[in-house]
Structure 1
Amino acid sequence: MAEIDVIVDSKSEHGVRDPHASSASPNTELVVDVCSACAYGDLEKLRGFVERDGQSVSTPDRNGYYAIQWAALNNFPNVVLYVIEHGGDVNASDHRKQTALHWAAVNGSIPVADVLLQNGAQVEAVDISGYRAVHVAAQYGQTSFLNRIIAKYGADHDATDNDGRSPLHWAAYKGYTDVIRLLLFRNAYQGKQDGNGCTPLHWAALSGNLEGCTVLVHAGNKRELVVKDRNGFTPANLAANRGYRHVAYILSNAGKTRGNFCKGRMFAGTVGYAPILLLLIIILVILFINSIMLGPGFPEATTVVLLWGWIGVSLALSSLIMFYRCSR
């Protein structure tokens, strides 16, 4: 599975600023044109290149990357807006057909995404691999960014790339459980099979992502446990072949346990000691009420003791209700 190719290392033409680093000004020797000024977020130098020297913000660098892409990757919304206002194409794409929105998704630059999408960027723009911004965000675990473009701009969270893989496939493979939960909350289809017949559960098993497998199994149904890819392997088979024995064991036994494991019902056989804990709490509450609250000496207690006693009973009953709701 090939990831999107927008990461530029320190050997690239301009270099990429660490989004978590300070916003100190870069070495002035590195800011030599429009693209480098955008890469480092040097708006003052950018203005000089454009307004004084007449350089164009629409001309790509020697690698075919555009100024707006560099500003988007490094999370400089003010620079992105300046480029757009001075003629930059918000949908300009490089040799891989990636746009600034693709680049913004790598570092989860929400302010940049807002600027781009509010100025005409195509939220469903597709590169040569069929990746959209939702795929890139899922590949890099950018949960907030992904939720933003889905909720506010209507991005298709079930869109597939050229290999038939949805963002859920990518999140499962990369091990980003928060992204998996978000997509499931958005009703992403977890039974979707890619070009190799693999579901997201296959890819979670293939990478040994135990937590992701657990989330997918609980949210899905038993059928997904036995779906086979084109080579005839189930998710459990793939995990076993890769040496992830614990994942294989969990997947192999998930469909055999008593009760409906996948729907997470209250008293399913796989919920462990939850029913016992619930029963124990109920017994203790009953004993407390019968032995203390209804005891012969309790009516003689002070008002404060009576008050705290009934508060304790009320909290215990509230806890039982919340315990039941959480278990469902």
Structure 2
Amino acid sequence: MTEIEVVVDPKPQQNGDTGRNPNPSPGAPIANPVVDVCSASAYGDLEKLRGFVERDGQSVSNPDGHGYYALQWAALNNFPDVAQYLIESNAAKINGSLCEDRICAGTIAANRGHRHVAYVLSNAAKINGSLCEDRICAGTIGKTGYAPILLFVIIILTVLFINSVLLGPSFPKVTAVVGLWGWTGVSFSVVSLIMFYRCSSKDPGYIKPNSGKSATRSSDPLLDIDLSNSSIWIGNWSQLCATCKIIRPVRSKHCPYCKHCVEQFDHHCPWISNCVGKKNRWDFFVFVCMGTLTAFIGAVTAVHRLWTWSPIIPSSEKWIHLVVMEHPGAILFLVMDAILLSGVLTLAVVQAFQIARNVTTNEMANAARYSYLRGPDGRFRNPYNHGCRKNCTDFFIHGYINDDEVAWPSLQEAAPGSQ
């Protein structure tokens, strides 16, 4: 989702200043940009907004042609009076008016540094319960996710492997070597289930708000911020999370599914119904690797059992047709296992590559949005990459890699011929 285009200077407006262009070109026709509720909110024209709503009966809950809502425009362009009027006009109680297109009005105001608008929205949240009405702003998948489906698939594959491949009645008795590899695969499947439970239930690194605040202050994100935090004074408003009411670390991100800020946020995985972050990324990587080994051993064992099966084939019968008819369970297992293997193998390779570089999936996908991932020359630079050996060693020993930035030479020092 691209950021909403700013249509006016987002500086606090003075009384009577509606944000219109005061200096049109000489002789140019003057077009009135305020034609509906959304444009009136974008330009801060409260008088016309009242007319559109009270006289013309326009709804404050309908988006404009670009899909953006009036309250989002008021939050973006810093019009607290307009935001207050929209809230009083029931905008805060309409699903979509605050959270449409995955951007909450409160988050927009906080990220822009519009503290007055954010304060108005936080007060509305106290009255109405939640700015998002408990909606999931970034998708339609519920908190349960696909974890029950994955659990069901793992169990079904394990049962099929035991009953149709290892102990299939039409197969000859397994040899010692095949039995060793086969039951090793079953053991890995059990370990995968254990790691699956750990990934799903473990805290991924939720960042909790500071404790010890009064009930009044705890409900206002703007009153809860730590004014001694350097991020506020240097203008890094993107680190302020109005939803969690905290100033989050640089590499963290708010997950709209889990509704928490997660330290070293990698991604939200619907297959485990949990985020992958600093505290459970090691478990997730082990789970993916164990899944890859299990699926690979199962596929090799199944292919070996089918290939070494020596039936009497009639002249009018094809071998592949006979295999499908005699061993449907083994064929079903092989097809499902191949699909699972392709997915987990790809994920394991991607995760291993990112761990070796100490970068997250979120950072790779949104590198252009994060200023700390750009060097003095504007190119991609990962300040947390300590080298493959140290990155991997720290990850496998500690379970995570510290956010210690690497000292990089300046652009002048790195230039050829510099002394």
Shorter-chain TM-score above 0.5: no
Relative contact order (alpha carbons < 8 A, sep ≥ 6): 1 or 2 greater?
Answer: 2
